[in-house]
Structures are given as C-alpha cells and as structure tokens.
C-alpha cells in the first residue's frame, strides 16, 4: 500500500526518534523540509561529492559538472516537502537527476553529434617525472577514452566501476533493466580497452604481464 507523502514523512520523522544514531537520508530530508538547516549540510556532505564525481566523469568538464551537481541538489531541496521515502533512495534519485542533466548538456553542446575532436588529448608524461605525473597521464588517457564512448555506455561504466554501484541501482538510475546495464558496461569496457590498446607502458603497466 502506498502512503501519502505526509504520512510517509511523519513516519520517517517518528522513526528518527527511535535510537538511531545516524539519521537516514529520508529522515534528514524530512527535517530539512521542517526547517532544520543542519539537515541540508549533512545531506550535501553525503551526496555532493558522489554526484560531482559522476558528473565530472560523464561530462569530462569540471565546471559543467559542478553546475550539474548544484542543480541536482537544488532539485532535491525543492522536492523535500513532497518527498516520498518509500518510492526511491535519495542517492538513486540524485544520480538519476544528475545523469539526465548530463545528457541534456551533452546534447546541447554537440547539437546531436558526437564531437570526438573536443575530447582533450592525454598528457605526455614528462621525462623524469615522478609517479604523480604518470598517474595524471593515466587519468587523462582514461578520461579521454571515456569521453569517446557512447553516452549510455559511459554512464554505465562510471556508475559501475568508478562509483562502485550495484547493477540493480544503476538500472533504476538509468531506467533500464539489469541485463541492459550489464551489456552497456561490458561494451563500454571493451571500448575503453580498445581505445587504450598499445599504451600499456605509457599507462604504467608492465608489457610482460599482458
């Protein structure tokens, strides 16, 4: 049976008083809607880094990703009074909003076509550079390869292998079945391997292991 938002929110607040030292996201959201500004800080601390991380890897642009993360959280504040705890997890809802915002920005930016030339080239490791330089080069190469993937494959790979989410949650975020998510992830990884093939040494891996 589905409760009304008010009943579900009242239940969430009631449950919060029952010896739960770490309030759930639902409880925090209900507290925010009732005027508790500390709840906003806790919710932002929990979710902002994750939403930003996903947006950075999906968009490949830090400034745009920050805008997306801010917009996703803004939508959370606005929906707080009508939040239905039983319908979705806050994290899943936020990821889904962020993914949709990323898709919108990608579409607008390229006008319906994939602009592979816009993907930044991986950095050349400077001679004698320490490990940090190699790590940066590795990240840049992987970022570039990620940006060259089709949108849905990139989203699935980011959510699965960078954020470490389970396939059922990714399926919910992307509005797909679990099998479709598995297929997208597998194809995405094959695409990344193909894009990075022949660069094992550059990426810091020993060729003899291959």
Partner 1 sequence: MTKHELTDAELERMLADLRLDTGPDDLMARVLADAAAEQPKTAHIIPLAVRRRAPRRFAGQLRAQLGGWAGLGGLAAACAAGVWIGFAPPQGLPDPAELMSLADSEIEYMDTQLLAAIEAESLAEDG
Binding site for partner 1 (CB under 8 A): 6-7, 9-10, 32-35, 37, 40-41, 44-45, 48-49, 52-53, 56-57, 66, 69-70, 73-74, 77-78, 80-81, 135, 138-139, 142-143, 157, 161-164, 189, 192-194, 196-200, 203, 205, 207, 209-210
CB of 81 to partner 1, least distance (A): 5
Which CB sits closer to partner 1, 7 or 116?
A: 7
Q: Which residues lie below 8 Å from residue 47, measured CB to CB, with a gap of 6+?
A: 25, 73, 76, 90, 91, 94
Q: Which among 25, 151, 153 has a CA at the least distance from the CA of 80?
A: 25
Q: Taken in order 147, 151, 157, 159, is the CA torsion positive or negative?
A: positive
Q: Which of the 8 DSSP states describes residue 208? A: G
Which CB sits closer to partner 1, 70 or 100?
A: 70
Cα→Cα distances 198→42, 85, 117, 195, Å: 45, 49, 20, 9
């Amino acid at each position: 049976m589905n409760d009304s938002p008010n009943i579900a929110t009242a239940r969430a607040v009631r449950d919060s008083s029952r010896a739960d030292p770490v309030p759930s996201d639902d409880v925090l959201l209900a507290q925010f809607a009732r005027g508790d500004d500390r709840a906003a800080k806790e919710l932002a601390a929990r979710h902002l880094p994750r939403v930003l991380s996903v947006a950075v890897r999906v968009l490949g642009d830090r400034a745009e990703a920050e805008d997306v993360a801010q917009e996703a959280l803004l939508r959370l504040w606005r929906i707080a009074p009508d939040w239905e705890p039983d319908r979705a997890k806050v994290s899943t809802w936020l990821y889904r909003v962020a993914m949709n915002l990323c898709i919108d920005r990608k579409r607008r930016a390229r006008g319906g076509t994939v602009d592979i030339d816009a993907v930044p080239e991986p950095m050349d490791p400077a001679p004698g550079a320490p490990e940090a330089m190699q790590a940066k080069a590795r990240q840049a190469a992987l970022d570039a390869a990620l940006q060259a993937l089709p949108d849905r494959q990139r989203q699935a790979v980011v959510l699965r292998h960078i954020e470490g989410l389970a396939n059922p949650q990714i399926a919910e975020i992307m509005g797909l079945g679990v099998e479709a998510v598995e297929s997208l992830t597998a194809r995405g990884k094959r695409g990344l391997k193909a894009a990075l093939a022949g660069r094992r040494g550059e990426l810091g891996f020993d060729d003899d292991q291959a």
